[in-house]
């Protein structure tokens, strides 16, 4: 029975990942800020699937929060077999007008916490010669994003880090998967204040469940990069051959409200 730690598990893709893992008989450690939703999910999954769920209420925007989560799982003697770094958020608006505190928190959650979690749980996986890490990136990893400049800049980091780490640890029997969803009906756009952008208002959104199932399957197979949806896969391929100046202009039109 494998235990998965999932960050950002109270809603969207993280919530669906938790349900999928539980449905396969796996135990869970679910992490998010909203303890009420986490407690509700714990009751639901334990009742429906007979598994154990540990709830950890934590704001990953706070420096060293990942280490606090790690210490808690260590104190409980919980072995983490699958680490799923799903937590992340975006922010819409021109950089000159956007709020630095929110952007700093975004970098902390999208990059720093994700990296620290990997740093903390990887040694145990290496010692056991077994384990899987999935980092949720985005199709934004392949294109710059004017009016969401900082968010879109965090995602190439996640992709590059995941690919490099996968290469480093594959000899230990461990895989690292970068999941790259496109626009998804997950609540992300509302939180990012981007729900009126063309990307979310004029595009058929993938469901959180479909993205989660795709990503979970890719993780189990040890796939290095998993891009959800044919059009998103095509986009990631085509931007290699298009001038960057044009890519940025098109990206702006898609993201603009």
Catalogue the active-site residues. 151
Beta bridge partners of 4: 28, 82
Q: Which residues of 17-32 are buried (b: 16+ CB within 10 A; e: fewer)?
A: bbbbbbeeebbbbbbb
Interacting residues of 148 by C-beta distance below 8 A, sequence separation 6+? 90, 91, 92, 93, 140, 192, 194, 255
Residue 230 burial by Cβ neighbours in a 10 Å radius (0-12, 13-18, 19+): exposed
- Ramachandran angles phi, psi of 242, nearest 5°: -105, 135
**Is the CB of residue 72 less than 8 Å from the CB of residue 57?**
no
Beta bridge partners of 207: 185
Among 232, 68, 76, 248, which Cα is nearest to 139's? Answer: 232
Q: Rounded to whole angstroms, how far apart are CA atoms 57 and 151?
A: 24
Residue the block writes with tokens 């998967």:
177
């Amino acid at each position: 029975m494998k235990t998965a730690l999932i960050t950002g598990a109270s809603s969207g893709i993280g919530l669906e990942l938790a349900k999928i893992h539980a449905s396969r008989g796996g135990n869970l450690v679910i992490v998010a800020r909203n303890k009420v939703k986490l407690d509700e999910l714990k009751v639901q999954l334990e009742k429906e699937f007979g598994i154990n769920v540990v709830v950890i209420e934590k704001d990953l925007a706070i420096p060293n929060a990942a280490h606090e989560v790690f210490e808690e799982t260590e104190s409980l003697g919980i072995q983490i077999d699958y680490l799923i770094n799903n937590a992340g958020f975006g922010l819409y608006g021109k950089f000159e007008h956007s709020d630095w505190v929110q952007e700093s928190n975004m970098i902390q959650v999208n990059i720093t916490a994700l990296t620290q979690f990997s740093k903390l749980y990887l040694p145990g996986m290496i010692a056991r010669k077994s384990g899987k890490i999935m980092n949720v990136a985005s199709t934004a990893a392949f294109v710059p994003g004017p009016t969401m400049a900082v968010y879109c800049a965090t995602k190439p980091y996640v992709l590059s880090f995941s690919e490099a780490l996968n290469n480093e640890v594959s000899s230990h029997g461990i895989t690292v998967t970068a999941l790259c969803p496109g626009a998804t009906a997950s609540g992300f756009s509302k939180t990012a204040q981007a729900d009126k952008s063309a990307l979310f208002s004029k595009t058929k959104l993938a469901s959180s469940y479909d993205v989660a199932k795709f990503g979970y399957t890719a993780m189990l197979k040890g796939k290095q990069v998993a891009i959800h949806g044919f059009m998103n896969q095509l986009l990631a391929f085509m931007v290699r051959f298009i001038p960057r100046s044009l890519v940025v202009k098109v990206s702006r039109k898609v993201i603009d409200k």
